[in-house]
């Protein structure tokens, strides 16, 4: 089949949407399909992988609009942060530029694809496809929009989207053939008139590639555990602070290693924890997996499943290490008891991931192909 993938995130970027795009591209090529990837082209990284797997790249180019730089000076920091947030709220700036880039790139294509898969975030990816897909101007037999979460119905941000953006969401939802999400319960965050278009397709991984990265595990002298991912404060979200405060009140030795970009939430605790908490930048997945496989256990701070299903959970599970799961950063008595067990090397309350085969990239790709009409 001739397949077009449209995504603003691709290898070597470290994000769930980048992993989604990269794994889909590689597996579709492995299965012998003719794949074209529309993304921001970075020759130094993309030429080797393109040559290895045999797909084509259509360059979207860098974002049309520059990112607003936040000043480090105290007063200017407040002003530039407020201006940046205001532009995001009012105009979805700077990602609104991607809508124009996708439309322009699609109009230059002279091929008709069997399947076109647009991958968000950012959601202007879908808006650009909807804009380009006018009457008599269809670029594929089937358009599938892949979403990590909703746009208007997202409840993981501090601020709600302004009312007029609902027209953008209705616009692309009306035109698309199917909408794929990692957990079908998440469709409640979208407008109900489109619920019939939704199909559950989880994140996909090449299990064999992951297993090759594993390091030998040996118990650490003190409880040593890690978290890798983003934090979101407020709204009962993925906020690490209740866990950290409970941990520090235990007055026991431990080592907690955190890979995140949200350093601002963690920095106040570094010295207070007597440096038992360690803050690190993101690292590539082929470095992260062997590191995590040497931890005593891994921490997952999860949203309620109908809101979001973190893809990193499967990477956690594939490392073979026990997973301590906290839902909605709600440290009730049951969770506190489980935390205490983990800190004493008792993992009887570890999170179990069911139906693991659904996360195999071979099965994930098969679901997309079935939506596209493959028998």
Q: Which residues pair with 34 in a beta bridge?
A: 2
Q: Residue 126 pLDDT > 70, yes or no? A: yes
Tens digits of per-residue pLDDT, 248-267? Answer: 988 899 999 999 888 888 88
Q: Residue 314 pLDDT > 60, yes or no? A: yes
Provide the token pair at 258. 């955190």
The SS3 assignment for 347 reads coil
Mean pLDDT of 266-281: 89
Q: Which residue has the higher pLDDT, 77 or 194?
A: 194
Mean pLDDT of 130-138: 81
Tens digits of per-residue pLDDT, 218-253? Answer: 999 999 999 998 877 655 567 888 899 999 988 899
Mean pLDDT of 329-351: 91
| Cβ-contact 21, 7 below 8 angstroms | yes
What predicted TM-score, i.e. pTM, was given to this entire model?
A: 0.86
Sign of CA dihedral 87, 88, 89, 92: positive
**Could you tell me the residue range of the domain that residue 223 belongs to?**
207-356
Same-domain status, 176 and 163: yes
Q: How many residues does the chain have?
A: 375
Tens digits of per-residue pLDDT, 149-191? Answer: 888 987 666 678 999 999 999 999 999 999 999 888 889 999 9
- At 277 the pLDDT is 93
> How far apart are the C-alpha atoms of 291 and 255, rounded to whole Å?
14
- At 16 the pLDDT is 85
Q: Residue 306 pLDDT > 70, yes or no? A: no
What is the band of 136 on the pLDDT scale with cuts at 50, 70, 90? low
Domain with residue 255: its CATH number is 3.40.50.2000
Same-domain status, 260 and 278: yes
E-only strand ranges, 148-296:
178-181, 198-200, 224-228, 255-259, 277-280
> How far apart are the C-alpha atoms of 60 and 357, rounded to whole Å?
34
Provide the token pair at 239. 């906020």
CA-nearest of 7, 9, 26, 27 to 18 is: 9
- At 72 the pLDDT is 81
CA-nearest of 141, 145, 139 to 125 is: 145
Total number of domains in the chain: 2
Same-domain status, 111 and 251: no
Same-domain status, 61 and 98: yes
Same-domain status, 177 and 277: no
User: CA dist 373 to 143, 196, 307, 366, 369, Å?
Assistant: 12, 17, 29, 11, 6
Same-domain status, 160 and 39: yes
Q: Residue 327 pLDDT > 80, yes or no? A: no
């Amino acid at each position: 089949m001739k397949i077009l993938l449209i995504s603003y995130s691709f290898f070597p970027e470290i994000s769930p949407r980048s992993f989604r795009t990269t794994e889909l591209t590689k597996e579709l090529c492995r299965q012998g399909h003719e794949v074209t990837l529309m993304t921001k082209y970075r020759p130094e990284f993309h030429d080797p992988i393109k040559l290895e797997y045999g797909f084509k790249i259509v360059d979207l180019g860098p974002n049309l609009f520059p990112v607003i730089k936040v000043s480090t000076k105290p007063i200017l920091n407040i002003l530039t942060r407020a201006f940046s947030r205001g532009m995001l709220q009012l105009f979805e700036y700077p990602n609104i530029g991607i809508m124009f880039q996708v439309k322009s790139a699609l109009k230059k294509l002279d091929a008709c694809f069997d399947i076109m898969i647009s991958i968000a975030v950012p959601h202007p990816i879908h808006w650009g496809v909807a804009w380009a897909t006018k009457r008599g101007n269809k670029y594929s037999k089937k358009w599938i929009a892949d979403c990590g979460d909703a746009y208007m119905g997202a409840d993981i941000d501090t601020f709600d989207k302004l009312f007029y953006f609902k027209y953008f969401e209705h616009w692309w939802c009306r035109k698309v053939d199917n909408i794929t999400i990692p957990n079908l319960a998440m469709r409640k965050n979208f407008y109900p008139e489109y619920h019939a278009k939704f199909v559950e397709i989880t994140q996909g991984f090449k299990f064999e590639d992951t297993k090759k990265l594993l390091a030998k595990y040996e118990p650490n002298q003190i409880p040593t555990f890690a978290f890798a991912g983003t934090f979101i404060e407020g709204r009962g979200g993925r906020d690490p602070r209740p866990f950290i405060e409970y941990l520090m009140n235990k007055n026991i030795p431990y080592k907690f290693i955190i890979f995140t970009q949200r350093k601002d939430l963690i920095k106040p605790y570094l010295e207070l924890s007597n440096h038992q908490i360690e803050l690190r930048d993101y690292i590539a997945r082929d470095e992260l997996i062997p590191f995590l496989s040497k931890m005593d256990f891994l921490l997952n701070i999860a949203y309620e499943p109908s809101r979001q299903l973190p893809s990193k959970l499967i990477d956690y599970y594939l490392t073979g290490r026990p997973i301590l799961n906290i839902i909605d950063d709600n440290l009730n008595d049951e969770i506190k008891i489980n935390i205490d067990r983990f800190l004493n090397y008792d993992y009887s309350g570890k999170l179990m991931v069911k139906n693991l085969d659904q996360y195999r990239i071979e099965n994930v790709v098969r679901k997309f192909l079935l939506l596209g009409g493959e028998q």
